[in-house]
Chains A and B, each alone.
Chain A
């Protein structure tokens, strides 16, 4: 008898749950027609998608711009966003390996679960050159190396153009009705970005060849574009915090060279880089590396305006006390 009652209540609660679900399915089906739902792993990709898709898209970024994209909590609330996504944009090159796959599996959304599905876009396939692709066998004694290459490519604004084009192509595939709209916006974005790149280039020209030290190997694409020379890293190996002896050795090496700038993302510990800069006479800059990395950085343009602006003004004032 007891058993029967338990089963009855369980059955009833399941029926109730199913009913509520069907109800909500109907409700959500109605507004699902309107816009293409785009979910991006990091906010910089969301910013580019917004530039291309305008009001035809509903864009959500998972990680915050001020957060280390290597270490993001795989919150179940992200599963909800992925469940409804028409397009998932991610950095690739294993940047999100620690948190995105488990979310994709939980999404129950065949639009994005398959790597070659139209709704699954690995942005690293869009850029012309991936830097630091290992040419020899790698293992973890080298630290947390990315075996597919360095994934911080969005810090070269020229890659912004490639990625924008790839996103536009994919949007046209998913939403062919608005193809011309995406084309127009892509052209407009590329025009604005090209003009801006020229402007940033001009600003950076006087500082070509500047020797810099960065916290993580996350600025190689930026340095490649800006013509900076990365002569050292505060992390002895990717993902491994520096020991005091390593810091001392780095300071000694930096004093022999002419390092003017120490760069660290805002999410890394700030004390060590600031100390190293102080001891070596370099300037320390805590910079955002993603859109949303700081208040007021809402577009891809804002991001480089901030990075280039702060670097050039720091370098211009360098040595003036």
Chain B
């Protein structure tokens, strides 16, 4: 029916309709023909389809490749752009030649010159205060305590050279004048040579303007003769340990020392009687805020009381500092400095045993304000009688250094002496200072007394930084 309708619709005749029917039937029932006519064609289509698909696929691939290429190109362009920008940033900010800049520096090869003046006023509750150290205030009144002049600079790639002169109204002293090696030496060695404050404890390395009190601590005044600054050569080794350890050894000539502890021997050719000083210093950074330094010192040399008579001086030093660094309290700090000294001195009469110590606690409670307390004393088993009262004091021993006999310099101690000091310091800037101090001196060989000090200090010029 359907075929007929279809044929009718196409407008074919009856005969033709039969033929068509036949052909259709034939075609329908003959699988071979079916296959020959339709089958081959579907294969071809399939094939073509497949080809098409393949073509499409390859086109797609090419497209992807192109896209990839394009992307890469774009990326590269971006990269180049960025690189250009980086280059631009780098060249733009590169420092232009600045001929004028250097001229603004005062380029000179002069050393750094600085001068520090320390003046002090004193009031004593006694007429004849004990004379401890030359640069301490001596009597009630106002005086120039010390004028320190320093010349410092680098000599050449191998050395720097530092000189400090201490002047008083009638005294000129070469306090230090020494060279320091700057180059790398085996065993982390650093050499200092010249006239210098020896590495013996802590206070011996601290110049007067850097000390925390107006007067010098008793053990330093008595045993070091204010400061031990012989002429010599010092070898400092930095020991490669996880913490800071410095070993120092120096050989010095005791001539010209202010100290009574060491003096040249009559036998000038004896190398063993030169002054040998050893020091070990340990530094521990316990935390960022708390540091601890421990040291030991030993000095041995002739003392000039007779042939081959020798003094041995032992020292132990401690320094602890707490400075909370975080935030606005960073200017507040507390530090404790303490030293112990023990001296053995051979004399024609007998061997003297003296010892002394000091401890000072400083609290910096504001950026410009310090306050502190110091306790210092010296003691001896064999007191030396004061020269004025020596008549009839048979059991007391007096040892006078031979070549300065006229000046009556005493090697032994007069007895026990104990002292307390309180101070308050105001530093308007790093370059000036006003200090008040009260001191109570209590010796067992004479009456005790008090002292009040006021000290002014001014500093001009670039003065080298101080060691920690």
A residues touching B (Cβ–Cβ < 8 Å)?
A: 3, 6-7, 10, 14, 17-18, 20-22, 24-25, 27-28, 64, 66-68, 71, 73-77, 79-80, 83, 97-102, 105-106, 108-111, 113-114, 125-128, 130, 133, 140, 143-144, 148, 158-159, 161-162, 165, 186-187, 190-191, 194, 239-241, 266-270
Contacts and interface: CB of A to CB of B under 8 A. Distances in A.
Given A127-B95, A187-B83, A24 B184 contact: no
A187 B428 CA distance: 48
B184 A111 contact: yes
Contacts of A64: 288, 325
Interface stretch (B38-46, B56-64, B277-285, B391-399): B277-285
B247 interface: yes
Given A20-B239, A194-B85, A133 B430 contact: no
Given A17-B239, A158-B93, 8 more contacts: A18-B187, A64-B325, A66-B330, A76-B468, A101-B464, A165-B94, A240-B428, A270-B328
Interface string B424-446: 00001111000000000000000
7 tightest Cβ-Cβ pairs between the two chains A and B: A24-B240, A76-B283, A162-B93, A102-B465, A76-B244, A113-B182, A77-B285
Interface string B66-110: 000000000000000011011001100111100001001100000
Interface of B: 82-83, 85-86, 89-90, 93-96, 101, 104-105, 157, 160, 180-185, 187-190, 237-241, 243-244, 246-247, 249, 272, 276, 278, 281, 283-285, 288, 291, 293, 298, 300, 310, 312, 321, 323, 325-328, 330-331, 367-368, 428-431, 462, 464-468
Given A101-B465, A102-B467, A113-B183, A76 B281 contact: yes
A99 to B, nearest CB: 6
Contacts of B326: 66
Most A Cβ at <10 Å: residue of B89, B101, B181, B462 = B89
A241 B330 contact: no
Given A76-B293, A162-B95, A194-B86, A22 B187 contact: yes
Contacts of B94: 128, 162, 165
A191 B79 CA distance: 10
Given A75-B291, A187-B86, A125 B328 contact: no
Given A64-B288, A144-B429, A240-B429, A110 B367 contact: no
Contacts of B241: 24
Contact of A241 (B86, B181, B368): B368
Contact of A73 (B188, B278, B321): B321
Nearest to A189: B86
A24 B239 contact: yes
Given A83-B188, A161-B93, A114 B368 contact: no
A174 B429 CA distance: 41
Contacts of B95: 125-128, 162
B239 A97 contact: no
B89 A114 contact: no
Most B Cβ at <10 Å: residue of A128, A190, A241 = A190
Contact of B237 (A17, A240, A241): A17
B309 to A, nearest CB: 11
B468 A75 contact: yes
A228 B331 CA distance: 29
Contact of B468 (A73, A130, A191, A270): A73
A161 B90 contact: yes
